[in-house]
Structure 1
Amino acid sequence: MTTDKTETTPAIRAILGVVAVAAIAGPALVVRHAPMPAAKPVMVRIPKRVVPQAEVPPVEPVTFVDLAPDDARSFNATVPFSTAPNPAARPFVLPGGQEDRDRATDCLAAALWYEAGDDAVGEKAVAQVVLNRVRHPAFPKTVCGVVFEGSDRKTGCQFTFTCDGAITRRPSDTGWQRARAIATSALSGEVYKPVGYATHYHTDWVVPYWQSSLDKVAAVHTHLFFRWTGWWGTPPAFNRQVQPSEPVVAKMAALSDAHRLGAVIAAADASIVAATPFFGRALQPLVSDPNTFLTTLAPTTTPQSYRALAEQACGDRPTCKVMGWTDVANMAFTLPLEPEQMAAMSFSYLRDRPAGFEKALWNCTEFKGLAPAACMKRQALRITAPSEPAAAPGPDAPRGPEVLDGVRRKTAIEPVKTPVPTPSPTPTRPS
């Protein structure tokens, strides 16, 4: 059988043409519409700002860059260690009585176990960071204050176990006793030298935003340790006087007898105070603040005697606050005060001798005939927290600002020159 070339050749050519076009266009279409590989996040290291000596460095909230653990590890590996000297911290010996020591030990032990787990070396490193913070003016003045700083907020706590619910998970008896033993040694002067004066740390699978503003000084297993840049990371900056009175922390009650009993005693004291008449007995400071007194005032005594009562209660305290009510029904027993309690307050006495301030004020709606300067101003009575005495700075301490941005805020009181008193009518109660 013969084939007609004039009929078959064009058909073959057409088929070959289609195949050729497909061979060229197909790969191009595949390449054009192929899925793009996921772009890896690019980390840009922000230049460090060295906080000057006259400015206390702010403590930033613990927030993290959005990175996968492997990417975070890769980035952290590129962060160089500081080449500056890394001296060991001075030994820390906790002041105060046995109750304060027990509370501090348990707070520190909790930080060790929840932050480092059953890792004795890691626990020693964490303990050193906590004690470095206690000595640094950017942080609270007590061990428990440092550990539970910001724990009342879901974001902002400095140690995540204090606000993420992890503290409800109890450690093993063996792990807890080991953590307490390490905490006891650290509070008795034992120093973990490798981390020096580090005040921050994080695991190598995260990148906190504060990292770029600090110097990387050590690595302990999977934890990286950092200290302040400039003067604030040097030994002279860690000379703040430690407050000997450790607070009772309610979140520690399940772990610590010291905190559980302290909370019970504080509640019992408040109940006793609430049930006991104030007339004729000595004023007692608040359990939570030894420099603040809340009291009822005998309505039968002269208003001028309230100041003498306040001065007697304050004694030699350099800072002191006394607030009194003649109406027991509206009296406050704890801080902060409710608006109704502030409005019903009859008398207040404020003392801040380091700032050169001392003043007594009366409720002039209740007590008539007083000079305007002796009258309370309602807007000045918005007290949100008890003030704490200023710690005596060491000989090399800088004179930084009173307000620590990002740490805690306290209204500064300007020194007031005492005016020459002018005679005023004796205040009398309205008939």
Structure 2
Amino acid sequence: MTPSNSIAPTPAWLRLAIGIIALAALVVPALLVLNAPRVPHRRHRVPPVALPNRVVPKEELPAVEPIAIADLTPDDARAFNESIPFSTDPNPAARPFHLVGAGDSQERAVDCLAAAEVYEAGDDALGERAVAQVILNRVRHPAFPKTVCGVVFQGAERSTGCQFTFSCDGALTRWSPTPAAWARAREIARMALHGAVFRPVGHATHYHTDWVVPYWSASLDKIVALHTHLFFRWAGWWGTPPAFNRAYVADEPNVPQLAKLSPAHLGGATDAATPAGDPGATGLLFDVNKAASAIPANAVPAAVAGDQNVFLVTLPDDMVPDLYPALALRTCGDRPYCKFMAWLDSSKKPARLPPTGDQAAAMSFSYLRDEKVQYVKALWNCEQFRRPSTAQCMRRQLPPVPAAKPAPAASAESAPAAEPAPLDGVRRKAPAQNKAGAAVPATPASSTSSSD
């Protein structure tokens, strides 16, 4: 008799089904793994050459070489940059910078600093302040030029290898910041040039984005990261505050590449009425650029027939002379070469070049741009307009000198032949005289006698 609580045996078909399911649970994942597409694993490369890692001694001034980028992909570059640790040494803030010099020099310093900010960091206040501080640190360091424009445009004459890439890669001709962005960059530049210090970057003299690897990065101390930019200072004594001991030279050079952004670089032209010490004043320099962008296309004068780079213009009677460069900039547009000549008196304006003497003397304003030789110049007729500097004045046209009337020919019988003037520094014997005091004609022997 079978007990009532006994368990019935498992049917064979159920055991078979469970075995198949268990086998599938093992076989299917194994097949998926074996047949999955292979993803190649690429190790991050290192730069093609060994990066320098040397601390320059105090007795040796560190060299400032043109920037050269290692041949790495952005991902490889980021991995390499992450492998470089941040310096654990103190990071003291730089001393405040106080701009000095003539008004036109100060305006050019503001323009150069603002251009570096907006072209290097974009319209980003934090990045612009960091870039401005790096440039002012360089001005004080013995390894760099002693003017703001000199630092910003160091190496700009080369097609590659400049210190700030925007100055030599054509960015200045490809695009311009909006008036609002340019005004903000100038405001930040003015603040930095009149005492504002951006403490996070300390005494940094170098920076780069995290997706590139310059060859100098391993030999400098990495001190801070801001957004996608990494900031560096020299290792050793050259990165300490005592090394930043050079004085600023308050004579900023004229930079023709910035003429499109500011008339302060139109051959030295600037507006003396703009308060250079007012951080909130954009003044006439910004008004010129705003006026240039505001001039409608149908108001732009037509070029001379046969030469699309030459403009002979009658100036509007109601336009302020300080805004003539705005009309010239709007008229010339992006032309690498442009000659703009303008008259207030339309009756004096020539129909073609060259102008006559009277027409040239009556010219009121001229603007010449030749990017091939890096030349930009704006000049006013200072007999018509009062300017703050004679450097802005055209050369006065001198009247032609009348030709001298020829002297009547003298008869050989009526006038004796004039003796040649004696040579300076040569002493000759006095002509011989007879007893009556009359001169005795020279003989061949006496005329060839040597001097005393």
Query: TM-score normalised by the shorter chain: which range applies?
Result: 0.5 to 0.7
Distance 1:81 1:260, change over 3 A: same
CA–CA distance in 1 between the matches of 2:45 and 2:54? 24
1:48 Cα deviation from its structure 2 partner: 1.9
Task: Tell me which residue corresponds to 2:82.
Answer: 77
CA distance in 2, matches of 1:274, 1:56: 49
Structure 2 counterparts to residues 6-405 of structure 1, below 5 A = 40-43=44-47, 46=51, 48-168=53-173, 169-262=175-268, 263-264=376-377
Report what 1:28 is aligned to.
none
SS at 1:264 equivalent: strand
Superposed CA deviations along residues 38-82 of structure 1, whole A, max 9, x for unmatched, are 554135864521111111100011110111111111111111011
Q: Please state how far the C-alpha of 1:264 moved relative to its aligned partner.
A: 2.7
Q: How far apart are residue 155 of structure 1 and its match?
A: 1.4
Q: Distance in 2 between matches of 1:259 and 1:179?
A: 17
**Secondary structure of the residue that 2:266 maps to in structure 1?**
helix
TM-score by length of 1: 0.53
Contact 1:136 1:239 in 2 (8 A): yes
Deviations 1:105-139 (A, max 9, x none): 00000000000001100000000000000001100
1:225 alignment partner, SS class? strand
> Judging changes above 3 Å, is the alpha-carbon distance between structure 1 residues 152 and 50 closer, same or farther for their aligned structure 2 residues?
same
Distance in 2 between residues matched to 1:81 and 1:209, nearest whole Å: 17
Deviation string 1:283-309 (CA, Å, 9 cap, x unpaired) is xxxxxxxxxxxxxxxxxxxxxxxxxxx
Tell me: CA distance 1:47–1:165, structure 2 relative to 1, closer, same or farther (3 Å). closer
Structure 1 275/82 Cα, relative in aligned 2: closer, same or farther at 3 Å? farther
For 2:56 and 2:246, locate their aligned partners in 1 and report how far apart those are by CA, in whole Å: 18
Counterparts of residues 415-426 of structure 1 (less than 5 Å): none
Q: Name the % identity.
A: 61
| Cα shift readout 1:218-261 (whole Å, capped 9, x = no counterpart) | 11111000001111101011010110000000101101111125
Structure 1 residues 35 and 89, CA gap change in structure 2 (3 angstroms): closer
> Any conservation in 1 of the 2:108–2:254 contact (CA below 8 Å)?
yes
Equivalent residues of 1:45, 1:212 under 8 A apart: no
Q: Which moved more, 1:59-68 or 1:123-132?
A: 59-68
Whole-angstrom CA distance in 2 between matches of 1:59 and 1:266: 37
Counterpart CA distance in 2 for 1:105 and 1:271 is: 24
Distance (whole Å) between structure 2 residues aligned to residue 115 and residue 272 of structure 1: 37
The letter for the 1-side match of 2:186 is R
Give 1 or 2 for the bigger CA radius of gyration: 2
Letter of the aligned partner of 1:244 in structure 2?
A
Q: Is the 8 A contact 1:65 1:208 kept in 2?
A: yes
Provide the secondary structure at the position in 2 that maps to 1:49.
Answer: coil
Task: Tell me by how many angstroms 1:211 deviates.
Answer: 0.6
CA drift of 1:269 comes to 5.2
Contact 2:153 2:164 in 1 (8 A): yes
Matched-pair contact (CA < 8 Å) for 1:93–1:189: yes
Q: Secondary structure at the match of 2:139?
A: helix
Unaligned runs of 5+ in 1: 1-33, 277-431
SS of 1:209's equivalent?
Answer: coil
Kindly tell me the number of residue pairs found equivalent between the two proteins: 246
SS at match of 1:224: strand
**Runs of 5+ consecutive residues of structure 2 not aligned to the other structure:** 1-37, 269-375, 381-389, 399-452
1:275 CA displacement:
8.6
